[in-house]
Amino acid sequence: MTTTLTVAALVERAAGEQRVALVPEVVTRLVADGYEVLLESGAGARAFHPDEAYVAAGAKVDSLDAVLAAADVVLAVRRPEPAVLDRLRPGQVLIGLLDARGDARAGLDALAGRGVVVLSLDLLPRTLSRAQTMDALSSQASVAGYRAALVAAEAFGRYVPMMITAAGTARPATVLVLGAGVAGLQAIGTARRLGAQVSGYDVRPAAREEVTSLGAGFLRTSVTAGAGEGGYARALTPEEQAVQQAELGQQIRTFDVVITTAQVPGGRPPVLVTAETLAAMKPGSVVVDLASGPLGGNVDGSVPGQRVLTDGGVTVIGAGDLPARMPTGASAAYARNVTALLAAVVRDGALALDPQDEVVGAVWVRPAEPAVVPAAAGVPGTDAPATAAVAPPPPAATAHADAPATLPEGE
């Protein structure tokens, strides 16, 4: 690098958030590449990375005021609070999972309108080969799926694997995972490793091979969604959704554990487990809802971040924040993702943005762009070339479009 770019990571202030955008291992590589790295004091503490570890890796640790004043690029896991966003200056770059879809997009448009360069990783084209190292949604979904199986096992009142003891034989727990995306496949694999008898379901017939390759059974319904625009499953009609719920309900009630992973970025998740289905499940059953959040979840009655015991004795766990509950591993993966994107937009120590590049153009939040909410969660994207250096964009910039996605799909 011919000049020095200053990159900073802040304390994550969202309730329950324990991750950090940079870890010491990645800081070492950034410093070696010629970056100056700043950390707000305490940024890594909840991920078990003390300030001293960052200093040893070559970073400087300072107050929020000093970090914001000096940083050229601000790295975050989630969107910083408004008081922090208001202090970002024109030309400064903000990179993170910034919730850039749906109604929440308006706040980022306003920020970009002030001249802040906003790059939101949740807009990344996830099927693009060169974007895989930047794919924070997938890395965090993998954490969520792994953790979901462990959370379910902890909440379940019996053995998960088959156990043969002097007192008799305990049958293995039966586990159903709804959605064969990144989170779903990781949940299937982890539940299998725990010794459960596992089945998976996805509305896409092509997902059957992925599920069975992990040694799980594949649940079928009469409802399937073939390829739509961009090659992904089309959205189900209301009639198809009703049939899907009814048919799934008949099968869900036979399982000990159900893990749901169907998310809609910026939109309301589909309900896959109805109150009627919950009422028909066996006492002691466990349902883990990875889509549970402010806009709803896949399970009727799930509450974000809480466990609810139904009158019928079924434990419903609102688990939309599982990556934040495994902060060390999740932060390590995220730091690699965010620095991979940084490498794609920096040349010779300066910001290099090309709106025609399919990675850059997709993640770059620019004013006057229409917000596109996919019908259901999935992996949007196309193929792309490389970047070229440009100045930050004017307020009116060329719009980009996100491809539609699949249902259900783990995020």
Distance CA 299, CA 347 (A): 46
Would you call 111 helix, strand, or coil by DSSP? helix
Tell me the HSE value of 8 on the side-chain side, using a 13 A CA sphere: 28
Helices (H), 9-135: 24-32, 51-56, 64-70, 82-85, 105-113
∠ CA 256-262-265, nearest 5°, is: 155
| Residue from 232, 244, 263, 325 carrying the catalytic annotation | 232
Would you call 318 helix, strand, or coil by DSSP? strand
Distance CA 20, CA 53 (A): 13
Q: Which of 285, 258, 150, 246 is nearest to 201 (CA)?
A: 258
Question: 132 catalytic, yes or no?
Answer: yes
**408, 374 Cβ separation under 8 angstroms:** no
Instruction: Classify strands 350-351 and 197-201 as parallel, antiparallel or unpaired.
Output: unpaired
Would you call 149 helix, strand, or coil by DSSP? helix
Question: 135 catalytic, yes or no?
Answer: yes
**21, 50 Cβ separation under 8 angstroms:** no
Q: Which of 245, 271, 244 is nearest to 260 (CA)?
A: 271
- Quickly tell me which residue has 């400064």 as its tokens: 92
**349, 1 Cβ separation under 8 angstroms:** yes
Question: 232 catalytic, yes or no?
Answer: yes
Helix axes 327-345, 136-155, angle to 10 degrees: 170
| Residue from 126, 147, 325, 366 carrying the catalytic annotation | 126
Q: Which of 114, 115, 47, 52 is nearest to 77 (CA)?
A: 47
| Residue from 51, 72, 122, 135 carrying the catalytic annotation | 135
Q: What is the DSSP letter of 259?
A: E
Question: 138 catalytic, yes or no?
Answer: yes
| Residue from 138, 140, 263, 302 carrying the catalytic annotation | 138
Tokens at residue 94, please? 């903000």
Identify the burial level of 379 via C-beta atoms within 10 angstroms of its C-beta, where 0-12 means exposed, 13-18 middle and 19 or more buried.
Answer: buried
| Residue from 132, 193, 234, 241 carrying the catalytic annotation | 132
What are the residue numbers of the active site? 126, 132, 135, 138, 232
